[in-house]
Structure 1
Amino acid sequence: MTAFILVPGVFTGAHVWEDTAARLAAAGAEVHTPDLTGLGAGRGPARPGTDLETHIADVLAAIDSVDAAAGREIVLVGHDYGIHPVLGAADRRAERVSRIVHLDAGMPQDGVPALAAVPDQALREQLAERAARGAAVGELPPPARDGWQRWGSTAGVPEEALDRLAARAAPQPLGTLLQPLRLTGAVAAVPATGVLCTGNGAGIEMLQMRVGFGDPAFEALTDPRVTFFEIPTGHWPMLSCPAELAEVLLRAAAGEGHRLKPAGTTGPPPHLRPFLLDLPEPARERTGNVDLYLPAAEGPRPAVVFVHGGPVPAEARPTPREWPAMTGYARYAAGQGAVGVTFDHRLHDVTDYERAAADVAAAVELVRADPRVDPDRVALWFFSGGGPMAADWLGAPPAWLRCLAASYPILAPLPNWGAAEGRFRPAAAVADAGGLPLVLTRVGREVPEIAATVAEFLAAAEDCGAGVEVIDVPNGHHNFEALDPTDESREAVHRAMRSVLAHLTG
């Protein structure tokens, strides 16, 4: 017999669980849907001083209400902000909790407030400044009916359910977001399940990529006690697909789910596997964070600057400029008479795009200033998570930029990045690209959440008449140069390089 305790997220109360709770109960489970103080009728309005500890106490009361003598296994489910009080309570009742479910929620750490998970960066900065002034009291009003998208994708939520969500929302006590979570470490022994809502921008394949980068925070997710499920919906599965969510929660309680593979257990991770072409080694020179692969040719030569993806943890070794795909493309360009350029930028988190974009601009200026480079013939080639930074160059392409290429790119911020509007949206910038030649390599087996951004970009390009040469790799995966060393993949690389170089030399 399982007892589920379902803890709601920001601005919401027990009411969001009604359909899911009914289905769990029909399956024979005991279900508790506690309101958190100030966020639902069950606990009343927020009191002065309501903070994260108040909500942890609310969850502890729910745990203690489950009859320990009945032998029920308690599964704590935290949606969104709700994972913070869930972890805080589980840390103090670890012996009572059989599993924690992170429902489209992050991995909060000791000493970090829930504010760090607020998706709106401008709001995070505003509230952090307020906390620094000692003004941590008060409430954050819920979004208007059309503003919920900024707190997580509303994909799949029926209009009437979104109406109810907005109508029943309550202000979030600021102390619940600003007070740091305190953990003793006991909660680490409790098995966990992550339920990823892919419509909100995260999927199992993307997590496995991050594990391959050697990120210590993601390596912990390879523990065999940690499992994962995907649901193809937005951030509110209890409203968009309650039946599917109930089924997943029952399977999670039974210990089912996908398990991530530790880095290195199946050979080198994809980003460190050999490039699919055997190429000569040209001369290489290093200046700071920039490597130049030099052709055996006289006079200033055109240059191709390759912009790696991410986010990549700062501790990753080798750094991206030495990854086989990056060096492979740079060597290929040098072999064809152009200067190939790889470099490291500081995209270590999805909040780092501004400083990473500054690194791209600095690298380009360093390259154009080199006497061996023709400063009026430069191409930029973006990969994977580097794609959003293409927006800067699409929106105001300089005359010396002769081509912009992208391979399996992310071309819009994913919903859970908290950057739904603003600077790094190539689909919005492409209307100003003018006659800039664009070359896009698209893989047929792309991660769905990334494929959606490519489709959005191509639709925008078609609407404005921008010329995009699309090179398809129908059987290719993200990072196909390492994962799919086939004739189809090799031909795609050849075609893309020929096209870019033709725009540089034509």
Structure 2
Amino acid sequence: MTVFVLVPGMFTGTHVWQETAARLTAAGAEVLPVALTGLDGSGGAPGTDLETHIADVMAAIDAAGAAQGRKIVLVGHDYGIHPAVGAADRRAERVARIVYLDAGMPRDGVPALASVPDEALRTQVAERARVDGGDGVLAPPAGRARWQRWGSTAGVDDRTLDRLTALAAPQPLGTLLQPLRLSGAVAAVPTTGVLCTGNGVSIEFVQRLVDFGDPAVQILAAPEVTFFELATGHWPMLSRPAELADVLLRAAAGQGHRLVPAGRGEPPAHLRPFPLEVPEVPVERRDNVDLHLPLDAEGPRPAVLFVHGGPVPAGARPTPREWPGQVGYARSAAARGVVGVTFDHRLHDTADYARAADDVAAAVELVRADPRVDADRVALWFFSGGGLLSADWLGAPPAWLRCVAASYPVLAPMPNWGIAGSRFRPAAAVGGAGALPVVLVRAGREAPEIAATVEEFLAAAKDGGTDVEVVDVPDGRHGFETVDADDAWRDAFHHALDRVVTHLTA
């Protein structure tokens, strides 16, 4: 018999598992939801910390493993993955699989607070700990809208959110501040990641991280690691209990998608050749910037800076300015008589948008100061996750900025990025764009959560009177230049680039 030990996340108790547990039981499994101390009506006790919750989970594992032949599957949601992994490290021989339910990757010596995506929330917890000496509590969300700060509530109806709020309990600060201690035994336990795409993460996204070659994530491509996706927000046990139960049963059976290790199979998308014919042009490197110069570059020429997406791990090689797609765009621009610029910025994590924005501004100044560039005729073209960096330029465009373009962009932060209240919200900034031309290349087969940010942006632009020229690639996917056949996007690519060049030279 399979026994599912279910560990809830921040502020929540066993009640969140009720519907999913009923479906697992109906399928013949046994279910043991864990009542974490202080989070399930038991009342918080002074000194409650991560070790307290690890002990709670170990007690459930011991109870579940009392009968011979039981296969224990440990499921940790959100914060719950930290005590789950801590307990599995001490009971590794009893746990058949750990399921990471829309959860981060706990690390030895790192507290759970590090996994909270919102920097302002992390600061709030640290300040509260300073005042309370680390023995206080963090108040739960006070209403429906407040839960969104902790993860997407997509799919959860208002009645359920009201119940979640009513039953929420304060989170003991010690559970977030105490570092997790691991012996390493848990590394031998097979794992499954269940990703909730409405919260901003997909299997494709994780595969891209593996493709970048970052050693920290290569373990995700191990044969004993599987993945599932659920098209919902951060609380699938409330929004999709039946689908979650099915996924957990399949995970227990060892099913799921397996990632391809870096360096195996065909090249990753970002390193595949640019499929269109583009001429070789002179390239000059200055610091982190490459200028692709027109062959007949006489006199100052307009320039377009291509702002790559991300996050991209700091150790990824080659760096984005050398990726075939970025170079293909820059050479195509140079073939049209303007300087095409590729450069590297430091968007290595979702917390890095501010310094990446500084890098974009520095690259712009470097390019505008070059005597071969017409400093009064510059365009910026943003890609993918780099789209959030357009907010600074849309909100208060300088006179020399002749056009902003974007291809398959993210135009509002994903719920789990922790920057919802930051300045990096193009959908909020576009109202200040005025007469600035905006060219948006939209992928028809975009991920729904990204497509929603584009629609939000277009609605805001319309309300603000900003004219956005949309160039559609109906059959294109995110990153279509290297993942789709060129006949699906070739005409749209040329049209969009011609429009940007027209705005630069008009």
Structure 1 length-normalised TM: 0.97
- In structure 1, the residue matched to 2:376 is 376
Matching of residues 171-182 of structure 1 within 5 Å: 171-182=170-181
Alpha-carbon separation, structure 1, partners of 2:420 and 2:479: 25
Alpha-carbon separation, structure 2, partners of 1:349 and 1:247: 32
Q: Does 1:24 align with 2:21?
A: no
Q: Which amino acid aligns with 1:337?
A: G
The CA deviation at 1:190 is 0.6
Alpha-carbon separation, structure 1, partners of 2:7 and 2:106: 15
- In structure 2, the residue matched to 1:280 is 279
Q: Which amino acid aligns with 1:280?
A: P
Alpha-carbon separation, structure 1, partners of 2:74 and 2:341: 50
Q: Which amino acid aligns with 1:328?
A: G
Alpha-carbon separation, structure 2, partners of 1:500 and 1:68: 68
Q: Which amino acid aligns with 2:53?
A: H
Identity percentage of aligned residues: 73
Q: Does 1:356 align with 2:366?
A: no
Q: Does 1:93 align with 2:91?
A: yes
Alpha-carbon separation, structure 1, partners of 2:284 and 2:452: 38
Alpha-carbon separation, structure 2, partners of 1:290 and 1:486: 27
Q: Does 1:412 align with 2:412?
A: yes
Structure 1: 5+ residue stretches without partners: none
Structure 1 residues 310-363: Cα deviation after superposition (integer angstroms, max 9, x where no partner): 000000000001101111111111121111111100000011000000100111
- Contact 1:99-1:193 within 8 A present in 2 as well: yes
Q: Which amino acid aligns with 1:484?
A: D
Q: Does 1:488 align with 2:484?
A: no
- In structure 2, the residue matched to 1:236 is 235
Alpha-carbon separation, structure 1, partners of 2:262 and 2:468: 36
- Contact 2:65-2:94 within 8 A present in 1 as well: no
Alpha-carbon separation, structure 1, partners of 2:359 and 2:123: 23
Alpha-carbon separation, structure 1, partners of 2:239 and 2:485: 40
- Contact 2:129-2:173 within 8 A present in 1 as well: no
- Contact 2:9-2:80 within 8 A present in 1 as well: yes
Matching of residues 206-245 of structure 1 within 5 Å: 206-245=205-244
- In structure 1, the residue matched to 2:79 is 81
The CA deviation at 1:450 is 1.6
Q: Does 1:117 align with 2:115?
A: yes
Alpha-carbon separation, structure 1, partners of 2:337 and 2:133: 60
Alpha-carbon separation, structure 1, partners of 2:388 and 2:43: 42
- After TM superposition, the structure 1 stretch with the greater mean CA deviation from structure 2, 104-113 or 373-382, is 104-113
- In structure 2, the residue matched to 1:151 is 150
Structure 1 residues 383-429: Cα deviation after superposition (integer angstroms, max 9, x where no partner): 11100010110100111000000011111100111122221111111
Structure 2 length-normalised TM: 0.97
- In structure 2, the residue matched to 1:365 is 365
- Contact 1:444-1:472 within 8 A present in 2 as well: yes
- In structure 1, the residue matched to 2:328 is 328
- Contact 1:391-1:429 within 8 A present in 2 as well: yes
Q: How big is the alpha-carbon RMSD for the aligned residues of Structure 1 and Structure 2?
A: 1.4
- In structure 2, the residue matched to 1:104 is 102
Alpha-carbon separation, structure 2, partners of 1:100 and 1:324: 38
- In structure 1, the residue matched to 2:51 is 53
The CA deviation at 1:36 is 0.5
- In structure 1, the residue matched to 2:193 is 194
SS of match in other structure, 1:325: helix
Alpha-carbon separation, structure 1, partners of 2:175 and 2:420: 24
Structure 2: 5+ residue stretches without partners: none
- Contact 2:65-2:72 within 8 A present in 1 as well: no
- Contact 2:276-2:486 within 8 A present in 1 as well: no
The CA deviation at 1:133 is 8.3
- Contact 2:394-2:430 within 8 A present in 1 as well: yes
Alpha-carbon separation, structure 2, partners of 1:277 and 1:128: 52
Matching of residues 394-405 of structure 1 within 5 Å: 394-405=394-405
Q: How many residue pairs get matched?
A: 504
SS of match in other structure, 1:302: strand
- Contact 1:276-1:490 within 8 A present in 2 as well: no
The CA deviation at 1:131 is 5.2
The CA deviation at 1:130 is 5.6
